[in-house]
Amino acid sequence: MNAPGPTAVFGGTFNPFHCGHLGSARDLLDALPLHELRFVPAAQPPHRKLPGVSAEDRAAMVELAIADDPRLRCDRRELERDGPSYTVDTLESLREELGAETCLLLVMGCDAVQGLPHWHRWEQLVELAHIVVLARPGWRLPREGVVHDFMQQRGGTAQDLLRAPCGRVHVQQLAPRDVSATAIRALLQSGGAVSHLLPGPVIQYIRDHGLYGAAPTTQE
């Protein structure tokens, strides 16, 4: 069997899934010749308190938002496991599914990359996948320290990534999107406008299910 084409994995709490996630994923698909990009909602994020919104609801919002784009997929494997949703476990199970030769890209914002040394078995992540780092407004890449050194040692171009199944770290320049789930939750609670920050089906789902204390009188 031929290895599937390059596959990107974009994990997160997605609480809620917003236009920063969706727009960055689409830009990445335009920038790199990927076979597909999978969003992987974390059931139990290891480094945050359990989100007030269930993993089932968070995954449902991802699925609704990407329903019209065949290049995007929601991968529910972390919802099907017990215990903390460690990315290294997810990559191991993806490797089993996709085979040793498939180019696998783990996508994360540059806020997430700063915390990498706190991730479970973090040094094994690049033995399973490449890491693609996306710029995020308000965040800069580290200029020294463990993550800086790691990025220097493992640094590679987009072409380097596509030539191997794993092992490199690449910073992909995309249009930055000043959106965060924290700011969106605050806006929803205060009745602020969110239509420019959330995909339409996500707004509808939040309203239908009464999530985030969304004020019913929210004006758009």
Note the residues at the interface with ligand ATP (CB under 6 A): 12-15, 20-21, 24, 108-109, 111-112, 134, 136, 177, 179-182
In angstroms, the CA 109 to CA 107 distance is 7
Q: Tell me how far, at minimum, the Cβ of 86 lies from ligand ATP, in Å.
A: 15
Judged by beta carbon, residue 22 or residue 161, the one nearer ligand ATP is 22
List the end-to-end C-alpha distance of the chain, in Å, as a whole number: 50
Residue nearest to ligand ATP (CB): 109
What is the SS3 string spanning the chain? Answer: CCCCCCEEEEEECCCCCCHHHHHHHHHHHHHCCCCEEEEEECCCCCCCCCCCCCHHHHHHHHHHHHCCCCCEEECCCCCCCCCCCCHHHHHHHHHHHHCCCCCEEEEEEHHHHHCHHHCCCHHHHHHHCEEEEECCCCCCCCCCCHHHHHHHHHECCHHHHHHCCCCCEEEECCCCCCCCHHHHHHHHHHCCCCCCCCCHHHHHHHHHHCHHHCCCCCCC
Judged by beta carbon, residue 3 or residue 135, the one nearer ligand ATP is 135
Q: Tell me how far, at minimum, the Cβ of 166 lies from ligand ATP, in Å.
A: 18
Judged by beta carbon, residue 2 or residue 182, the one nearer ligand ATP is 182
Judged by beta carbon, residue 92 or residue 111, the one nearer ligand ATP is 111
Q: Tell me how far, at minimum, the Cβ of 134 lies from ligand ATP, in Å.
A: 5
Judged by beta carbon, residue 13 or residue 90, the one nearer ligand ATP is 13
Q: Tell me how far, at minimum, the Cβ of 4 lies from ligand ATP, in Å.
A: 23
Judged by beta carbon, residue 163 or residue 195, the one nearer ligand ATP is 195
Q: Tell me how far, at minimum, the Cβ of 132 lies from ligand ATP, in Å.
A: 10
Torsion of CA 174, 108, 116, 74, to 10 degrees: 180
Judged by beta carbon, residue 104 or residue 181, the one nearer ligand ATP is 181
Q: Tell me how far, at minimum, the Cβ of 214 lies from ligand ATP, in Å.
A: 16
Q: Tell me how far, at minimum, the Cβ of 215 lies from ligand ATP, in Å.
A: 20
